């Protein structure tokens, strides 16, 4: 048993890189084809394999027919037959997990991670776990010389491809479609990655960058912390009994401080039962992490978030770890990312967050779609082409009540289509799209735009739109997107926004746009954040994960 413990002693360490209703915009066919072309080029970049380098051992080899024999004995690995054959063909059938007849350290690393898949937020059982365990144990005999074992060798390689599938790639495309996730899935050659893996030392600090989005490893660390808390804490609901205000003294305040301390928001004296400045500061940090108004006060919403059971948080973390498996590992360019539950637009260059701003997303009945596009145009002083759903459900009833409704709202009727009037709103400060819109042609008719309703950006929950995304800092976004054209100064942008005449600008540099849905994530200060599941999408995915029956 001691030998078995020895072989499990090291883990691989990950270096990790630390919105159906909508506002209508009918893209022209040639614009859509351009977007598709750009999208294909970007996806091609993601699909580049991770460079591999063959491991050193070349002397010990085996006959290729051994793979056929192995797969007959262990048919559950049949789906990986091509991967296994391709991997060993490139190695000229040299053993990969042995050096000088002894299993290399990576064998223990892989076996350990396969035995502890729940640490990865995975409840899927691997095939033949007992056989794997026995083969690894027997590979280190105490009373006779070690020697290569072809079954152990092929078992490790097959299990590596199983691990790659569940841990690095995640559930199947059918699952992502069932939870309305239309971002493109990453593709990685795990065959080549295995070569790279075997070349690493597997020791702490070995700088092995695994093919998962950088948030994955950060969430994985918090998953371990929350599981430890759940194992040691009862997490009994805190009931203040009365509204607490700064300066109050009560026994429940000490309980609140202890809980905030365990959640790493409070760092002071947990025995002190005074609502002091330290507690107020801790409340603010906790509120920021949970998307609440950061006033430092013990309001009902804050106390409710403090009382969320740890098992709920653990489930929330695992769901978002699975979503991380679906995203591209990294993107070495400018790009925009909207996180719907966070109500935020983030502007990136590669892994560097340049700036963020508040956004308004679709209501629950008009959900913003989760998808990907390519930003191509900025439209100043835009017309708003009202979608049929809004004309039918809102404008026509309003016209019946007030025949002058169209004129009063600076709208014009330009024709008739599908039995409904075609209505557009003229440019101006009262236009529902505001003074500028940002187009990335897509089949969902979703885009980013300004809004005259600025007060909504001050709300902590900002799901008010018909599906499109309202941007809190539109002039700043326009400046960012037009930065490759030096003629577009801040003054020129402001003038175009207020001109009252529609002007469409084609971007010199197209920019990828990701509309995503994360209810748990880490921020740039490595603080764990939670957000409300505003579209109720977590539970379905959680049930598939926890049952272990999700399609992989």
CATH of the domain at 301: 1.10.101.10
Residue 298 falls within a domain, yes or no?
yes
**Domain shared by 156 and 64, yes or no:** yes
**Domain shared by 184 and 254, yes or no:** no
Q: Which of 175, 196, 212 is the last residue of a domain?
A: 212
Residue 226 falls within a domain, yes or no?
no
Instruction: Indicate the number of domains in the chain.
Output: 3
CA dist 209 and 16 (Å) reads 6
Task: Give the CA radius of gyration of the chain.
Answer: 28
Q: pLDDT tens digits for 115-145?
A: 888 888 888 889 999 999 999 888 877 777 8
Q: List the CATH number of the domain containing 479.
A: 2.40.440.10
**Domain shared by 183 and 271, yes or no:** no
Lowest mean pLDDT among 158-172, 355-369, 431-445: 158-172
**Domain shared by 282 and 342, yes or no:** no
DSSP β-ladder status, 503-516 and 334-339: parallel
Mean pLDDT across the stretch 154-171?
88
Q: Which residue do the tokens 């893996």 mark?
A: 197
What average pLDDT does the chain have? 84
Q: Which of 308, 342, 360 is the last residue of a domain?
A: 308
**Domain shared by 291 and 394, yes or no:** no
**Domain shared by 397 and 450, yes or no:** yes
**Domain shared by 188 and 248, yes or no:** no
Residue 25 falls within a domain, yes or no?
no
Confidence of residue 207 (pLDDT cuts 50, 70, 90): very low
Q: pLDDT tens digits for 233-250?
A: 999 999 998 999 999 999
Of 503, 515, 379, 512, which Cα lies nearest the Cα of 35?
512
Confidence of residue 37 (pLDDT cuts 50, 70, 90): low
Confidence of residue 551 (pLDDT cuts 50, 70, 90): low
Q: Residue 88: phi, psi to the nearest 5? A: -75, -30
Dig out the tokens for 245 from the structure.
């205000």
Runs of H (alpha helix) within 58-184:
65-73, 81-90, 105-115, 129-138, 150-163, 173-178
**Domain shared by 396 and 267, yes or no:** no
Residue 318 falls within a domain, yes or no?
no
Lowest mean pLDDT among 173-187, 205-219, 258-272, 273-287: 205-219
Of 427, 425, 515, 437, which Cα lies nearest the Cα of 471?
437
pLDDT of residue 100: 83
Confidence of residue 15 (pLDDT cuts 50, 70, 90): very low
**Domain shared by 333 and 285, yes or no:** no
Strand, helix or coil for residue 381: coil
Q: Which of 247, 274, 308 is the last residue of a domain?
A: 308
Give me the sheet containing 411-417, strands edge to edge: 384-385, 420-425, 411-417
Of 539, 514, 148, 142, which Cα lies nearest the Cα of 337?
514
Active site residues: 449, 468
Residue 42 falls within a domain, yes or no?
no
Quick check: 82 pLDDT over 80?
yes
Lowest mean pLDDT among 23-27, 56-60, 235-239, 426-430: 23-27
**Domain shared by 80 and 172, yes or no:** yes
Confidence of residue 147 (pLDDT cuts 50, 70, 90): confident
pLDDT of residue 329: 67
pLDDT of residue 205: 35
Residue 413 falls within a domain, yes or no?
yes
Of 307, 385, 348, 330, which Cα lies nearest the Cα of 26?
385
Residue 54 falls within a domain, yes or no?
yes
Q: pLDDT tens digits for 180-190?
A: 777 767 676 66
Residue 483 falls within a domain, yes or no?
yes
**Domain shared by 298 and 336, yes or no:** no
**Domain shared by 167 and 194, yes or no:** yes
pLDDT of residue 350: 86
CA dist 334 and 350 (Å) reads 6
Quick check: 550 pLDDT over 70?
no
**In which domain, by residue range, is 433 found?**
327-530
């Amino acid at each position: 048993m001691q030998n078995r413990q020895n072989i499990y002693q090291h883990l691989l360490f990950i270096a990790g890189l630390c919105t159906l209703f909508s506002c209508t915009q009918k893209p022209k066919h040639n614009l859509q084809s351009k977007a598709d072309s750009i999208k294909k080029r970007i996806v091609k970049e993601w699909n580049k394999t991770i460079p591999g380098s063959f491991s050193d051992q070349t002397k010990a080899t085996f006959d290729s027919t051994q793979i056929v024999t192995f797969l007959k004995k262990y048919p559950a690995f049949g789906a990986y037959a091509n991967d296994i054959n391709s991997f060993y063909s490139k190695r000229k059938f040299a053993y990969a997990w042995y050096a000088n007849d002894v299993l290399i350290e990576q064998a223990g690393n892989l076996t350990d991670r396969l035995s502890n898949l729940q640490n990865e937020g995975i409840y899927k059982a691997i095939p033949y776990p007992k056989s794997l365990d026995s083969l690894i144990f027997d590979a280190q005999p105490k009373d006779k010389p070690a020697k290569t074992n072809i079954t152990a060798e092929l078992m490790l390689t097959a299990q590596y491809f199983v691990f790659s599938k569940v841990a690095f790639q995640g559930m199947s495309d059918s699952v992502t479609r069932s939870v309305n996730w239309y971002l493109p899935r990453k593709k990685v050659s795990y065959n080549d990655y295995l070569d790279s893996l075997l070349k690493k030392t597997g020791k702490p600090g070995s700088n092995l960058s695994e093919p998962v989005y950088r948030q994955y490893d950060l969430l994985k660390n918090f998953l371990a912390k929350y599981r430890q808390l759940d194992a040691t804490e009862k997490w009994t609901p805190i009931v203040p009994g009365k509204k607490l205000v700064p300066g109050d003294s009560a026994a429940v305040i000490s309980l609140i401080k202890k809980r905030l301390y365990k959640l790493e928001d409070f760092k002071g004296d947990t025995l002190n039962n005074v609502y002091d400045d330290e507690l107020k500061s801790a409340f603010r940090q906790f509120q920021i992490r949970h998307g609440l108004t950061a006033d430092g006060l013990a309001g009902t919403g804050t106390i409710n978030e403090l009382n969320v059971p740890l098992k709920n948080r653990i489930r929330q973390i695992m769901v978002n770890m699975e979503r991380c498996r679906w995203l591209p590992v990294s993107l070495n360019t400018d790009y925009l990312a909207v996180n719907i539950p966070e109500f935020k637009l983030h502007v990136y260059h590669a892994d560097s967050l340049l700036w963020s701003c508040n956004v308004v997303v679709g209501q629950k009945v008009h959900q913003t779609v989760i998808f990907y596009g390519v930003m191509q145009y900025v439209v100043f002083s835009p017309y708003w082409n009202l979608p049929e759903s809004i004309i039918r459900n809102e404008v026509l009833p309003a016209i019946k009540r007030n025949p002058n409704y169209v004129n009063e709202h600076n709208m014009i009727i330009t024709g008739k289509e599908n039995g409904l009037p075609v209505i557009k709103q003229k440019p101006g400060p009262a236009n529902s799209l505001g003074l500028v819109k940002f187009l990335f042609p897509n089949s969902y008719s979703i885009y980013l735009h300004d809004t005259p309703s600025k007060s909504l950006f001050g709300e902590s929950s900002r799901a008010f739109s018909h599906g499109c995304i309202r941007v809190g800092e539109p002039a700043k976004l326009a400046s960012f997107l037009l930065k490759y054209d030096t003629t577009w100064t801040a003054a020129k942008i402001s003038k175009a926004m207020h001109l009252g005449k529609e002007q469409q600008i084609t971007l010199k540099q197209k920019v990828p746009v990701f509309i995503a849905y994360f209810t748990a994530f880490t921020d740039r200060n490595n603080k764990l954040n939670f957000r409300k599941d505003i579209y109720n999408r977590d539970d379905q995915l959680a049930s598939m994960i926890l049952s272990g029956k999700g399609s992989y």
